[in-house]
Structure 1
């Protein structure tokens, strides 16, 4: 019997196994090197794309980084308007699977601000329609959870105003086609959508911190005084830059649907008012410039009402005596101001208002600019009444720009909502002599320290300004029960940097104002609070060791007192 012996498989030696492992390691290293090389090439390409292409902001490769509409920022870079990809909620009725009544009920739970009937009409219609154009993420999730294929959620470009109502009238808003309608959005619409410029934010002169202060203080006063509205502006006297501008009541540009269109009117640039006694310093300045007033000590008869052309010019607080120039302003005498204007004459008075652009729309980039109510006939009576702010109606911006020229050395410059930055301010043109401007700074400071503006005196800030409380015109004459109360001021008066104007429309005399409706009681305190809060933000700090030198004028004051 033969025996078959099977030869066992050859066992590999340790050296062979080592060779195989080494080969595998080499192949793995090669793969890793190839992977690292590919990763390196991709990284280099990305770095090049970001640094060079995105840096130019003009190449095709960087187009994705350019927004559909430029951002708008304040002077410190704080975003005021930004375009984002937002969700919308749309219904396509023909695709709906669920009962329409059920869907209307479910949608009403998600959108309680819409009526059930309105929602039922949307889901029962024949055409696709939007339920919400700018929907919140939780609203999108809730509608999606209904589980009906008839709802879709398109991504659309949305304009977002992250500061909500802050500076709403300055910002303005867009129409359904995405174009600016009012405010900066409307005035700079082309600049904001142009491919060549939309990559750079549009920097405004507005300071959101100061804007917030002005809005909060003025809003509190309007509410407490039960007024129908208000307006305010802070203006750089040397550049014309608008640091803050507010109009009350206001609106939220993120939520225009359902809001009152009347709230979208910019009272600072588009509403006209007879601004009363705030005109008196301008008239006195014109008289000093023209040589009509050569001495602060000269007195004018204010003992009794002044009859002219069948009318009688009166003072609200008759001092019953002759008043010199400082006293005329401190006690806010219509009679004495009218006498000075009468001596100045029609031509010079009309020239003053034309030089200050009171015969045209206010100078600023915004489209919402009202044309003043200019007197039809400049007779003797008109010359007298316009000197104390009656018979001529302008916007608050007109007056703010005029005050800036009166205190900055006499140079008029147009207002702007754009940040100048390193750019030189407009050269401007002279409307008052430098010496006249210096004199007016003294007189405005006296009005606050000794006259009707005492409640605006912010310690250390050297505020100067003038009150104005004008009856509103109505059918058959002026309405004694309806006042426009205004305070126009500047600070610090020894070296003015900013004009601040605040106005309250029809304040009620109540406990908040000790029963008074006039500007000295209603608006002057607003200015004081704004200056004290916003001054340091603007680089103006209180210094009670400094003040305007009024030593040559104080001996002329017969006694302290209040007037309006």
Structure 2
């Protein structure tokens, strides 16, 4: 239509027509809404209080019950599940006498406080919880009171059959079933989805191995009056974590009045200087870059001066040491000289390859970032101290991941708590040459057989590993009385399968440890006990040390430099 050709009267008539159409549409819409309200009021006039409460219960059920998947270990053993419960609530406006109702409920002696109940039941709210997750006996007692305005609704509660055993790994949920910590939080959405599909979440953990780890950690803590302990056990060829524990722990069913230190996961969140457990990495760097050979000799007779400080050996051997002897006798002076040959740039590069300069990449709840000097401040002093595990702080999982790569052929796997179905296609990356890794197996075996980690040895299992003792920093200074005792070891070293990292925190001097709170005295025996019990549970056969294949796999061709080693080798 061409509006330019219309007269004013035509435009007016057209405008009036449009206005009438709009008015009729709005009137019709309002009439429809009014009729709908009338019909709803008519429907409600025939709806009972019970029907209203039933509808409310359905709404509560959909809002508060979160169906979560069961969590099981690698063998299908139940670790976490939901059980059916009931919860009790009230409509305060329906109560005849709120004070009397509060008194009757409190007198049942089921953990209800009369004063609190009066505050809830006397409010003007449409809905208040009285108690969540009540027992059948409690439900019957409340039901028998017959208080008008008090009702029950179906609910679910998360339970952990093994209670404290997996506390730091699994974590826990809040009263509404939402994950708050651990696996429960990390995989909250996945657990809900799997629950709706009636599927389980299967972890890489093994209840049997977890029990062994916790048992041996507790024994060591009690034996040496330590403040705590932690450990992790990993498959070196997949990255699967079979056990992970931190003591003290907590009961996820009772979270009231828990001490802060009990909630802290030392193995995943705690970052520590790992002491001499870093020495194998320094030697691996030297071997991998061809800066050293096994028969190179280093003078460890004199302290090494760095700035204002002097580097010494603990119980130094003096004279010259070959590369295997440097690790066997845990010489700070020896690894410091190797580190100087490697250089700061290469040291930083290798530590980054081993995953020690970044947060753990995979599905570990509550991960912590390592602490180390930035590139500009990575000085010669940093180069030296980091070579033997000071001046850099990492978690126990970092150490397990890196040590696994050191012995498994040089491949870094991401630590995981989820069971891996297709182990042939697990992502990994090379960090050192395969030959370097094979040499490190022999060096670590030698260290357990004849060196600082002797107390971790188990006949027939070819244990290899390294101990570490790190003085803890207290008020900005290192304390000689507060140590972290560490052992990191694998077995069997001819074909490594499992890596064990043990940390005992602040062991006290006593007659049992002869006043030595070192990694060799405190942590190494714990590692040995764990390995001995693990082998029995997993059916790992003991090897004959004199078997031709074993001898060939473990043979280390080097020239001893120290007189003690020469005599032992004869």
TM-score, normalized by the shorter chain, greater than 0.5: yes
Corresponding residue for residue 550 of structure 1: 555
CA contact (8 A) 1:205 1:418 kept: yes
Q: How do 1:134-533 residues align onto structure 2 when only pairs under 5 Å count? A: 134-140=133-139, 153-194=152-193, 198-294=197-293, 296-376=294-374, 377-533=377-533
- TM-superposed deviation, 1:137: 4.3
- TM-superposed deviation, 1:123: 2.8
Please point out which of 114, 123, 131 is paired with 1:120: 114
RMSD: 2.7
The 1:337–1:425 alpha-carbon spacing in structure 2 relative to 1, beyond 3 Å, is: same
The 1:143–1:459 alpha-carbon spacing in structure 2 relative to 1, beyond 3 Å, is: farther
CA contact (8 A) 2:79 2:161 kept: yes
CA contact (8 A) 1:192 1:198 kept: no
1:559 is aligned to 2:558: no
- The range that moved more, 327-336 or 402-411, is 327-336
SS in 2 for 1:159: strand
Name stretches of at least 5 consecutive residues in structure 1 with no aligned partner.
1-65, 112-117
SS in 2 for 1:523: helix
- The range that moved more, 399-408 or 168-177, is 168-177
CA contact (8 A) 1:91 1:122 kept: no
Supply the distance in 1 between the matched residues of 2:86 and 2:221 (Cα, whole angstroms).
37
User: Can you list the C-alpha shifts for 1:421-440, whole angstroms capped at 9, x where unaligned?
Assistant: 23534231111111111111
- TM-superposed deviation, 1:453: 0.8
- TM-superposed deviation, 1:544: 3.5
Supply the distance in 1 between the matched residues of 2:159 and 2:79 (Cα, whole angstroms).
8
- TM-superposed deviation, 1:319: 1.8
User: Can you list the C-alpha shifts for 1:284-342, whole angstroms capped at 9, x where unaligned?
Assistant: 10110011112x22221211221012211112212232222111111111111111101
CA contact (8 A) 1:323 1:336 kept: yes
SS in 2 for 1:559: helix
Name stretches of at least 5 consecutive residues in structure 2 with no aligned partner.
1-64, 122-126
CA contact (8 A) 1:341 1:383 kept: yes
Corresponding residue for residue 20 of structure 2: none
Supply the distance in 2 between the matched residues of 1:156 and 1:419 (Cα, whole angstroms).
31
SS in 1 for 2:543: coil
CA contact (8 A) 1:412 1:429 kept: yes
- TM-superposed deviation, 1:551: 5.1
The 1:105–1:416 alpha-carbon spacing in structure 2 relative to 1, beyond 3 Å, is: same
Supply the distance in 2 between the matched residues of 1:471 and 1:422 (Cα, whole angstroms).
42
Supply the distance in 1 between the matched residues of 2:194 and 2:101 (Cα, whole angstroms).
47
CA contact (8 A) 2:206 2:242 kept: yes
- TM-superposed deviation, 1:543: 2.4
Supply the distance in 2 between the matched residues of 1:554 and 1:530 (Cα, whole angstroms).
33
CA contact (8 A) 2:90 2:128 kept: yes
User: Can you list the C-alpha shifts for 1:424-473, whole angstroms capped at 9, x where unaligned?
Assistant: 34231111111111111011011111111111111111111000000012
CA contact (8 A) 1:235 1:244 kept: yes
Supply the distance in 2 between the matched residues of 1:195 and 1:530 (Cα, whole angstroms).
34
- TM-superposed deviation, 1:356: 1.1
Supply the distance in 1 between the matched residues of 2:128 and 2:562 (Cα, whole angstroms).
72
Supply the distance in 2 between the matched residues of 1:299 and 1:132 (Cα, whole angstroms).
73
- TM-superposed deviation, 1:148: 6.2
CA contact (8 A) 2:120 2:128 kept: no
- TM-superposed deviation, 1:263: 2.0
Supply the distance in 2 between the matched residues of 1:163 and 1:135 (Cα, whole angstroms).
21
Instruction: Give the number of aligned pairs.
Output: 488
SS in 1 for 2:234: strand
CA contact (8 A) 1:97 1:150 kept: no
Supply the distance in 2 between the matched residues of 1:171 and 1:154 (Cα, whole angstroms).
28
Q: What's the TM-score once normalised by structure 1's chain length?
A: 0.80
Q: What's the TM-score once normalised by structure 2's chain length?
A: 0.80
